[in-house]
Structure 1
Amino acid sequence: MKETLAVRFHQTGGTEVLKIEKLNVPSPGKGEVLIQNYAVGLNFIDTYYRTGLYQTELPSGLGFEGAGEVLEVGEDVTEFKVGDRVAYPHSPIGAYSKYRTLASHWLVKLPSSISYEEGAAMMLKGLTVQYLFRQTYDLKQGDTILFHAAAGGVGLIACQWARHLGVNLIGTVSSEEKGKLALEMGATHFINYTTEDVKQRVLELTHNQKVKVVYDSVGKSTWETSLDCLAPRGLMVSFGNASGAVTGVNLGILAQKGSLYVTRPILATHISTREKLVAASNELFDLVSRGIIKIQIGQKFPLEQIQEAHKELESRRTKGSTILIP
């Protein structure tokens, strides 16, 4: 059994509820491995659990993705051995720690061409883009889409993946600086929502045709605008709640705005089997290893600065991915 430092919270609320505590990490049992996290990913979903928007039993750890090295393997583990480089995109809550014991089915082997920091910054975000672009809607060359928060961790991967597919991505951002970064990463156009009318700019950029798909991780504050940007029979993909959850949806509005479709996908559904997890990860690893997608790590925080890290994320001051170093 190892002792580790980990982030815990005993009640939901603001960043002040996050504390660093010492925990005992059990030795791996049947089908489990003990890993040392060298880097951990910070994601907006983490704030949903901290604030109580999503429920978890308290007290609780936090975080879902990370990358590190296998230190011990339990009985019946055949796919991994001590010393293997591994990463995981979605696991039981509690990734904000130096050591943790996990069931081996959550893990994939991390190629040597990808650093631990890149692995922690890309797994949940990169596999989110994989399911959005390759499973939720099968994008084709020449399609035009709207992607909110295009300069965030998910957004910058989406910009690059869209360029690879030959898709025209219109990205919304909160500043000119972020817009230029989105263009550099592959966006066709950007819309600064603090100074421009998103609906009007989409009409201008598409010659009044609007877009086939809107990808929206913002939620409540962009819901109506997103629907207004969709062409008839277009697809609204709501995959996050950064501004709050979308509630009270009136299905009649979908009819009025053009027989629209709406979906609320999550990663877990798309990697529900080990085979699906490995296949999606391999596609992502291939694009990163070939340099088609470059992982943009905008911020790094030591685990002890977790409160500051959450404040920066929620303030929309971050660019690209944010990682924690245990």
Structure 2
Amino acid sequence: MHGQITGVVYAIYYPILAAIGVPVNLVAIVVLSRGRCGLSKCITRYLVSMAVTDLLVVLTAVIFNRIIGIYFPVSFMSLTPACTLSTVIIYAATESSVWLTVAFTFDRYIAICSQKLKTNYCTEKIAAVVIGTVCLLSCFKSIPSYFIYEPLYIMNNVPWLCNIKSSFYTSLAWTAYDWFARVLNPGLPFLLILLFNALTVRHILAASRSRRRLRANSSGENQSDPEMLNRRKSIVLLFAISGSFILLWMTYVVDFLYVKITNESYFGGSNFNDPRFIRQESGNMLQLLSCCTNTCIYAVTQRKFREELRNAAKYLGNLIVNVVK
């Protein structure tokens, strides 16, 4: 009974996630690309690229992998070449999404903490170079994962489904690659985001104390500080995005560490009662949810983004009314 409930939750969760994830990321891409949200072109490039990679993760990992696997177990995507290629694309998209979050966090750290580097680094051109490099390296890093899998079974000389090769658990090369891949995503990103945020907070606290003392001595304490107000908006956006990433990836990271510490193999079956399945799939569900949260964060933290959303909704409403008439 417990397994049936788990299976139902599993089967319902991903369609809902896709129904939310696709439109919210499309909305974010369209609204941010218009450049009317009061954000710099540098920030806008990072946020648009993050929305694009998040959308790609939803399309590949949620729709083509999870939903088709649940509701259409025998389909083109069940062929071994198709599911292995799909896995590579999922890894590349997820890798890009994670490291773009790191790149955005680093960019905001430079913008807030180093005025000297800000002029040269926090530019639209540098952002484009960083985004392109991150996506290219993520694709190269994901290529070896194509060779991890073998057919689960062969019917009429046609290979079906993807099964992790036994050599993946015994080969020193594959063990090294697995550690390398997991450290780069999400281990190192976790540490870097925490580090940059900690350094940013330390700098903000020191700068805030200095500016309060300076303004109190020069012009009184009750006057507003436009510099601190602008910085506060940037900080709220930064911490909301990076904090959401850390919280939603935490279960996935803990599961990876548990598997490595206990030498337990990754779960590859379909027994919904198995604690390994519940633990592993819970991490996957939360990790994929992170691809849908950024647009909500923009809407909560950015007033002009909300205004653009309202304008877009009014435009669509008027368009629908005109079509109906």
Q: Check whether TM > 0.5.
A: no
| Larger RCO (CA under 8 A, 6+ residues apart) | 2
- Larger Rg: 1 or 2? 2
Greater share of helix residues, 1 or 2?
Answer: 2
TM-score, normalisation: structure 2 = 0.25
